[in-house]
Amino acid sequence: MERIHYNIPIEATLEVIGGKWKALILCHLKSGKMRFSELQKSIPQITKKMLTQQLRELESDGIINRYVYHQIPPKVEYSLSDTGESLREILDKMCAWGENRINNQT
Amino acid sequence: MERIHYNIPIEATLEVIGGKWKALILCHLKSGKMRFSELQKSIPQITKKMLTQQLRELESDGIINRYVYHQIPPKVEYSLSDTGESLREILDKMCAWGENRINNQT
DNA sequence: CAGGATCCTTTCTGATACTG
DNA sequence: CAGTATCAGAAAGGATCCTG
């Protein structure tokens, strides 16, 4: 296994939650498990393809869990893993900061 | 002035510090003002062009200040603005999380 | 419902050369 | 030193169609 070198630790964080969608997805999952279609509704700008892709990456980075109910029609639920939970504080603060910025806009 | 609508406040945050470079740049500026060339040295993967572009955007979003010393050769210093300072907690936590992740890697 | 596959467009990034 | 300008390639994103 190759050990990646980072000049500064935030790079390791950005590798996991960086990009256009990941923090947003995680922010929605903060409130509990969600189905694929619920995520889609909550983030109308994202396409299925992108959502699938981002969820796969988050899963393989160990940030979220994926539960598949083997039924027809299929049902898949996503939720924060323990590692994902450890991001909660950051996500909360990012949300709070954004809220503040929106309200203080002139 | 158009008021942008966000489905969830973190979008406003991501608009400002999202992307590949911005959080990283801000993380470096946490420790104090830096010159353009110092930033370049600290973030060797970024090109001049990208650095310039990202700094311009951060400036126009009111996150950083840009001081130009009118001398030859030129000298330009960047630092967190007050608004930028309000991101410090988030940046610190992102760094801490990354550090943790690096150390807990098997 | 939750996707996978394909094709296509757009945006982002980087390399290089040049400038006040 | 701190940029700009130009060009080309890579990556991201979207539309559409298909499937268990």
Q: What is the least distance, in Å, from the CA of A84 to any CA of chain B?
A: 11
Which of helix, strand or coil describes residue B53?
A: helix
Over the stretch A76-88, which tens digit does the pLDDT of each residue have? 999 999 999 999 9
Contacts of A12 by beta carbon, 8 Å cutoff, 6+ apart: A4, A6, B97, B98, B99, B101, B102
Which strands, in side-by-side order, build the sheet including A64-69?
A34-35, A75-80, A64-69
A12, A24, A87 member nearest B11 (Cβ): A24
pTM of the complete model: 0.92
What stretch of H or E contains B50? helix B48-60
Over the stretch A23-68, which tens digit does the pLDDT of each residue have? 999 999 999 999 999 999 999 999 999 999 999 999 999 999 999 9
First to last CA, chain A: 51
CB-based contact B99 A12, cutoff 8 Å: yes
Fold of the B10-103 domain: Arc Repressor Mutant, subunit A (1.10.10)
